[in-house]
């Protein structure tokens, strides 16, 4: 009887672990989709002809304001993934990490814009 309980308990534990792993994998995929969607939106904006006349500071301000739904989706999906992957880390730290990822994406686009603008002179 004791062996049966041990087997049932072990089976339930393994099943729960597999479900959790699947949930983390799904959250990771959603975070990647969110990242790609945000990057694609930024790249589309980068390539618009009207933006070429902007100064670096104006483009920086513009990039910070565009793609709000894609940015928010990326933030939420990344926080969800981090919360599942690292459940013992404070939620505020996950939000900080997501905001840093967004800031880095914006910085990369702005850097590319400025370098391209300088090369075109």
Question: Got the DSSP string for the chain?
Answer: -HHHHHHHHHHHHHHHHHHHHHHHHHHHHHHHHHHHHHHHHHHHHHT-GGGGGS-HHHHHHHHHHS-HHHHHHHHHHHHHHHHHH-TTS-HHHHHHHHHHHHHHHHHHHHHHHHHHHHHT-
Report domain extents, the chain: 22-119
In tens, the pLDDT along 61-100 reads 999 999 999 999 999 999 999 999 999 999 999 999 999 9
Contacts of 84 (CB under 8 A, 6+ apart): 20, 23, 24, 27
pLDDT over 90, % of the chain: 69
**What is the model's pLDDT at position 32?**
94
The pLDDT of residue 15 is: 47
Give the predicted TM-score (pTM) of the model.
Answer: 0.81
Is 70 exceeded by the pLDDT of residue 3?
no
């Amino acid at each position: 009887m004791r062996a049966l309980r041990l087997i049932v308990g072990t089976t339930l534990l393994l099943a729960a672990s597999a479900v959790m792993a699947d949930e983390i994998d799904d959250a990771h995929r959603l975070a990647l989709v969110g990242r790609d969607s945000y990057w694609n939106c930024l790249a589309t904006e980068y390539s618009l002809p009207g933006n070429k006349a902007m100064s670096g500071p104006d483009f920086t301000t513009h990039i910070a304001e565009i793609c709000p739904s894609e940015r928010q989706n990326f933030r939420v999906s990344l926080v969800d993934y981090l919360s599942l992957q690292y459940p013992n880390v404070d939620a505020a730290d996950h939000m900080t990490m997501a905001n840093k990822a967004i800031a880095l994406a914006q910085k990369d686009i702005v850097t590319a814009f400025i370098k391209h603008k300088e090369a075109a002179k």
